[in-house]
Chain A
Amino acid sequence: MAAPEVHHLFHNPIADHSFSADRKTLAIARDTTVELYSKVGSAFKLKDELKGHDKTVTSVDIAPNSGRIVSCSQGKSTPVARNRHGVVLGGSAGPDWAGLGQAGVALTRMADRNALVWEPSPQGYKPTLVLLRINRAATFVRWSPSETKFAVGSGDRLIAVCYFEEENDWWVSKHLKKPIRSTVTTVAWHPNSVLLAAGSTDAHARVFSSFVKGVDSRPEPGVWGERLPFNTVCGEYLNNSAGWVHAVAFSPSGDALAFAAHDSSITVVYPSGPDQPPKAVISINTQLLPFMSLIWNGEAEIVAAGYDCEAFRFKGGLNGWVLSGTLESKGRPGLGEGREESALNMFRQMDLKGKVKDDTQLKTVHQNTITTLRPYETSGGSVRKFTSSGVDGRIVIWHT
């Protein structure tokens, strides 16, 4: 296994990261800005800063085809929002300004938590404000595979599904509300861009339909259901010990759902059809700390990482899943390994720290919790490389 490629960008937490389709641009959610890095030689150099949010940016996603970036934050965002014709729809005069639609109707008060869509243009990225109509932090955002919609999870116990309405030249947000009882921590799209999985702090992983007439084509009937009007609940899952759900993901075929919860488990659900109990719900409790993120590699492998600062591989299928080991190659040169100690250094360490060995470094590549995993290079249905980012400010490209 080739050694992972490590990029230590800064000493701040990375809330989320996303690569463009050509892998030349890397978007990082850092503090209140979205930073864009481009690859120069073997390192990533800061190229652009997208400033629009005034609270911590919680999530960022680049649409692979259109190159649009969507970001969301814990607090209100205050750029000037205009439509295509340059008509100012609202200003940044203060927290109480009203967003006005074309008909001049006040859409909502703007003491609001919103998302921004950054459109690439020759002059740089232009932000468009998307009114999510939520009263709590936005926690997580992802483009649908079709790139016509995106979903924002929030602390307002709902998911905002946003799509662009041509005639009003405006991003519209529709709410998936029932039966969510607590903060939505994560969302993941089904390949058909209609079904949406969400994990919540009420310990449930759910599958919803986010079908929007005129935007989506009618999905093929499948294991999750046949008729799928907006806000159909196609599945609601709870594992035994029921911790907060940190991550959800559909398998590449979309016919299985995996979720990781705060009880250090991952659970894989194989549904059998609408209104029927699932074929199998497999829960693997581990000896490890909880996982924060997971990705599928084909239908028979899951990679998960979290508070243990390293990625772990799970293997299995309909008949059961097992934890098969870590992706960290032990004894890798450089990091973690003790350097040749000179006598001077040894005595200096004893004098400074009262001990010989400097044990402040973890033996893992990441030196703090991994918060996001994303596929980086895929061929066929399998992931050849994936990336991880974490609280330690590192981006690591791994080989599976």
Chain B
Amino acid sequence: MSIIQQHTQATLSDAWRTINIDALQEDSSVNFDTSTLHPALPETSEAEVRQLTNQVRQLLRGGDAEGALRGCLESPVYRGRDEAKEAHLQTVIEVLQSIKASDMTPMLQRIYASPGGTECLDVLMKYLYKGMAVTSTPTSGGAGKSNPQTPTRMTPQQTGFSQMSGRPGGSSESTGGAMSVLLSWHEKVVDVAGLGCIGRCMTDWRKV
């Protein structure tokens, strides 16, 4: 990494301000892998995701939407190939779209009150944000259609938040539909799990 990150004519006299002094210290955070700070998470393969998707679809067909939602929130894909993460996101969105608006709040309250419920809603919030990031890019398809080759989706840090540059000119109708579903879920989740839930999404190092 270059020590001096950038300087222009205007800032030349202030060039010292742009010296990245952290790069000069060997034990500073830029010089070590921050992922070593926490225990490694188990990796999820695409086969496992597919299996889970089938189970979830079965539950949905059986009319157990809450079980299906819980099922996908209890096994988020934190570590794995992008295709696996993407496939799981699509499963979550599929479940979310199949739930009626009037059922949302009671269902969220039941999940929140159950053991491990806060964690579940935190995971749901992460998928909502990821879903919004993905559906707002023009090339990505709508719900139910996995689209693993979308290059704009791949950000190096996988935060799921930084997709503003990919704001589309003409988004298809299905994208808009998915977005409105996600937004209404977002509102309901904040009602139940509070602002703390959004804070946890932002601080958490386990990205979906």
Contact = CB atoms under 8 A, between A and B. Distances in A.
B32 A181 contact: yes
Nearest to B37: A202
Interface string B135-174: 0000000000000000000000000000000000000000
Could you say which of A157, A243, A264 has the most chain B C-beta atoms within 10 Å of its C-beta? A264
B38 A263 contact: no
A286 B204 contact: no
Interface in B50-65: none
Contacts of B195: 264, 287-289
Contact of B200 (A181, A238, A263): A263
Contacts of A285: 118-119, 122, 196, 200
B119 A240 contact: yes
Nearest to A262: B203
Contacts of A181: 27, 29, 32, 34, 37
Contacts of B197: 287
Which label, helix, strand, loop or mixed, suits the secondary structure of the B interface? helix
B16 interface: no
Which label, helix, strand, loop or mixed, suits the secondary structure of the A interface? loop
B117 to A, nearest CB: 10
B42 interface: no
Contacts of A244: 203
A168 to B, nearest CB: 29
A295 interface: no
Interface string B23-42: 00001110010100110000
| Interface size class of chain B, counting residues whose CB lies under 8 Å from the partner chain | 20 to 34
Contacts of A204: 37
B38 A203 contact: yes
Contact of B204 (A202, A242, A287, A289): A242
A200 B87 CA distance: 36
Given A242-B205, A287-B195, A287-B197, A157 B27 contact: yes
B177 interface: no
Nearest to A240: B119
Given A287-B193, A288-B194, A289-B195, A264 B37 contact: no
A290 interface: yes
Interface of A: 157, 181-182, 202-204, 238, 240-244, 261-265, 285-290
29 contacts: A157-B27, A181-B27, A181-B37, A182-B29, A202-B29, A202-B34, A202-B37, A203-B38, A203-B205, A204-B37, A238-B37, A240-B119, A241-B200, A241-B206, A242-B205, A243-B199, A243-B200, A263-B196, A264-B196, A264-B199, A265-B200, A285-B122, A286-B196, A287-B194, A287-B196, A287-B197, A288-B194, A288-B195, A289-B195
Interface of B: 27-29, 32, 34, 37-38, 118-119, 122, 193-197, 199-200, 203-206
